[in-house]
A and B are shown apart, each in its own frame.
Chain A
Amino acid sequence: MADAVYTTPEHAQLRDTVARFLAEEVEPHGAAWEAQGFVPRAVIRALGRLGLLGITYPPEYGGAGADALTAVVFQEALARSTFGGFVITVLVHTDMASPHLAHAGSRPQLDRYLRRVIAGELVTAVAVTEPDAGSDVASIRTRARRDGDGWVLDGAKMFITNGVHGDLYFVAARTDAESRGARGISMFVVEKGTPGLRVGRALDKQGWRSSDTAELVFESCRIPAANLLGEENRGFYAIMRNFQTERIALAAMAVGHCQTALALTLDWVANRRAFGATLFDKQAIRQRLALLDAKVQAARAFLYHCAWLVTQERECVREVSALKALTGELANEVLYACQQFHGGMGYMRESAIERLVRDARVLAIGGGATEVMLEEVAKRLRT
């Protein structure tokens, strides 16, 4: 597939490094991680040593100081893996959780955590979603109240990726009981092992099985005042800002998976014979693959365009929401057809395409469900 107009020779090198890492360190071991339900820490640290966990972060903390386009190159290259659970473990750390620290952290907070986050020594998770509040962030009920020189957290968080084995949680809680909706929410850093924080249970999922997902429970969980992240009562806006980064990462993941699925399927249909010819010789099959390829290329161009908008610091909520909706649905359309063309083998647990089908489903749900994304777009259509 031709490179986007925005990409540079360095991006090609980065893709090569990631592709080699997948071939040597991920694909041969992913099945074992799926069975155990999480990615080993050594793998995260190895990515840290390659400088891949702090692409947009400042060099003084070990980051690469690169831009949003470079981050997308990494996300897309990583999502060429056939193990979505591995990919999301990494991308939650790099693009969904740690940005809360990198964007809003005070100097002492950055000094305390960021270097180890970038090295992969501390794995991060973001705890916003609750049993009764997902995309509707303004209705969260977890509370933080001031108590002497600290804060006390009470509540529950749901579907928290990296939640079982994470080291550092960025937690949203209501700090102003009087205000409603978007106002009165703040973000906090909570370290693993803090008394009052426990993993309620590890959740069992349809896909992303090598990713650990938790229900977290906060019961009189006491943290120091210094663990407030960013401005008090302004957490909602920080969350909304980070959603843009998160949604681009999820779109990159969808686009990467689509490319891998199409490559696997083209390989399969070129060799599989039926009625005296290969499946690729059947026009019905190859034309559908051609159209899916066209859609994936178009989505990929849109993905890079959105990342470019971020590098230009342009307002892009409409574009990123549209991208997230489009790619989440497209991944499912592509994987449905790819599984279909794999025939019986596509239904077997031993095939990569079967796993990718299960992994793709959540891309239309997590990080902003398609319906929520389309509302964000619709609101902005008539301006």
Chain B
Amino acid sequence: MKVLVPIKRVIDYNVKVRVKADGTGVETANVKMSMNPFDEIAVEEAVRLKEAGVATEVVVVSCGVAACQETLRTALAIGADRALLVETDAELQPLAVAKLLKAIVAKEGPQIALLGKQAIDDDANQTGQMLAALLGWPQATFASKVKIADGKAEVTREVDGGLETVATKLPVVITVDLRLNEPRYVTLPNIMKAKKKPLETLKPDALGVDVAPRLATLKVAEPPKRKGGVKVPDAAALVDKLRNEAKVI
């Protein structure tokens, strides 16, 4: 059984993100980029499925600029077998990525598509769900536990107020949450081995997908600077301020 893990290259979580002066987006020049942390958890889970003998092959795919190869190499160093890059300089929105992934699924024939629940750059939380809809596959999102057996997936999900366990048939789209696992360290011997693993590059055109954005970004702005607070003497003064100054109650 093959597992497909889509991964995204994002600004590293340690970087303080800055908005470009012209308000068209955020600054990415000379900024450290890394694999989206949720995707790293998805890669780890897929590799564990392989090590447990459940999966036979782990294929990672990324959509975006040529430099995504570096992110794919990290996934290969964690333990993925093979990588695909759908290379484009175009802006990619979740729907476009979901369409590209649908085409990759048709090409590769995986039984599981395992994704991060969202990317830490746009926090859209859409690609997995859209992919499931486009494929007509069941979806199990926000997984904190994944069990695959007898052609079925049993997935524990983190929902408001607790945990929910769902069972689905395969094939399935699963998106993973933070507490599913702790990704392993990438060891130096595995970094060296990853250099020799296959990495195939495709173009969106070859997959017959139109990636043109459907949404237009009007403006990107810094969040307002946090202002200093004030101390109130008692609850009554607080209520008064909330009612008459902030006008929130």
Chain A interface residues (CB < 8 Å from chain B):
2, 9-10, 12-14, 16-17, 20-21, 49-52, 55, 59, 64-66
Judged by DSSP, the binding face of B is helix
Report the Cα distance A20→B185, complex, angstroms: 8
- Please give, as numbers and ranges, the residues of chain A lying within 8 Å of B30 by CB-CB distance: 2
What are the residues of chain A within 8 A of B74 when measuring CB–CB? 13, 16
CB distance from A345 to the nearest CB of B (A): 22
Closest chain-A Cβ to B44's Cβ sits at a distance in Å of 13
Residue pairs across A and B with Cβ atoms less than 8 A apart, 13 shown, are A10-B191, A12-B70, A13-B73, A13-B186, A13-B191, A13-B194, A14-B188, A17-B188, A50-B187, A55-B188, A59-B189, A64-B192, A66-B188
Let me know if B189 and A9 touch, CB within 8 A: no
A66 and B195 alpha carbons, distance in the complex (Å): 13
B187 touches A49 (CB 8 A): yes
Q: Which of A9, A20, A64, A66 makes the CB contact (< 8 A) with B73?
A: A9
Docked-complex contact A10 and B192, CB < 8 angstroms: yes
Most buried by A among B34, B73, B77, B191: B191
B14 CB to closest chain A CB (Å) equals 9
A66 near B70 with CB under 8 A, answer: no
- Tell me if B188 and A16 are in contact (CB < 8 A): no
Contact with A along B194-210 (1 / 0, CB 8 A): 11000000000000000
A2 — which chain B residues lie within 8 A by C-beta?
Answer: 30
Closest Cβ of chain A to B12, distance in Å, is: 9
A10 vs B196: C-alpha distance when bound (angstroms): 12
Q: Chain B contacts of A50 at CB under 8 A?
A: 185, 187-188
Contacts of B69 in A (CB 8 A): 9
A64, B188: Cβ atoms closer than 8 Å: yes
- Docked Cα-Cα span, A21 to B190, in Å, equals 16
Cα–Cα, bound, A52→B191 (Å): 11
- Whether A17 pairs with B189 at a CB distance below 8 angstroms is no
Please judge, given known A-B contacts A9-B73, A13-B73, A13-B74, whether A66 and B186 are in contact too, CB under 8 Å. no
Which residues in A have their C-beta under 8 angstroms from that of B194? Answer: 10, 13
Q: How far is the CA of A228 from the CA of B187 in the complex (A)?
A: 34
Chain B nearest CB, measured from A172 CB (Å): 31
A376–chain B nearest beta-carbon distance, Å = 32
Q: B34, B74, B185 — which one has the most chain A CB atoms within 10 A of its CB?
A: B185
With both chains docked as a complex, state the minimum distance between the C-beta of A64 and any C-beta of chain B, in angstroms: 5
Q: Within the complex, what minimum Cβ distance (angstroms) separates B189 from chain A?
A: 4
Among the listed A10, A21, A51, which residue makes an inter-chain contact with B195, where contact means beta carbons less than 8 Å apart? A10
Shortest distance from the beta carbon of A143 to any chain B beta carbon, whole Å: 40
User: A21, B188: Cβ atoms under 8 Å?
Assistant: no
User: Would you call A65 and B192 a contact (CB within 8 A)?
Assistant: yes
Q: What's the Cα separation between A9 and B34 when bound, in Å?
A: 12
Q: How far is the CB of B72 from chain A (nearest CB, A)?
A: 10
Residues of A within 8 A of B189 (CB): 51, 59, 64
Asked if residues A51 and B70 are in contact (CB atoms below 8 Å), the reply is no
Known contacts A64-B192, A65-B192; is A13 also within 8 Å of B185 by CB?
A: no
Per-residue interface assignment for chain B, residues 50 to 81, with 1 indicating a CB less than 8 Å from any chain A CB and 0 otherwise? 00000000000000000001100110010000
Q: Is the CB of A66 within 8 A of B192?
A: yes
Q: Which residues of B contact A17 (CB under 8 A)?
A: 185-188, 191
Report, nearest first, the 4 A-B pairs whose CB atoms are least far apart: A51-B188, A51-B189, A51-B187, A9-B70
In the complex formed, the residue of B with least CB distance to A12 is B70
CA distance in complex: A17, B77 (Å): 11
Contacts of B191 in A (CB 8 A): 10, 13-14, 17
Interface centre among A16, A20, A59, by most B CB within 10 Å?
A16
B30 to chain A, nearest CB (A): 7
Q: Which residues of A contact B77 (CB under 8 A)?
A: 13
Besides the contacts A13-B70, A66-B192, what 12 more A-B pairs have beta carbons closer than 8 Å?
Answer: A2-B30, A16-B34, A17-B187, A17-B191, A21-B185, A51-B187, A51-B188, A52-B188, A55-B188, A64-B189, A64-B192, A65-B192
CA distance A178 to B23 in the complex (A): 79
What residues of chain B lie closer than 8 Å to A21, measured between beta carbons?
A: 185
CA distance A16 to B34 in the complex (A): 9
Q: How far is the CB of B223 from chain A (nearest CB, A)?
A: 18
- The reply to whether A16 and B186 contact each other, CB–CB distance below 8 Å, is yes
Chain B neighbourhood of A65, CB < 8 A: 192
Distance of A16 Cα from B186 Cα, bound (Å): 9
User: B187 to chain A: which residues have CB within 8 Å?
Assistant: 17, 49-52
With both beta carbons as reference points, the residue of chain A lying nearest to B188 in the complex is identified as A51
Contacts of A14 in B (CB 8 A): 188, 191
Report how far A55 CA is from B74 CA in the complex, Å: 18
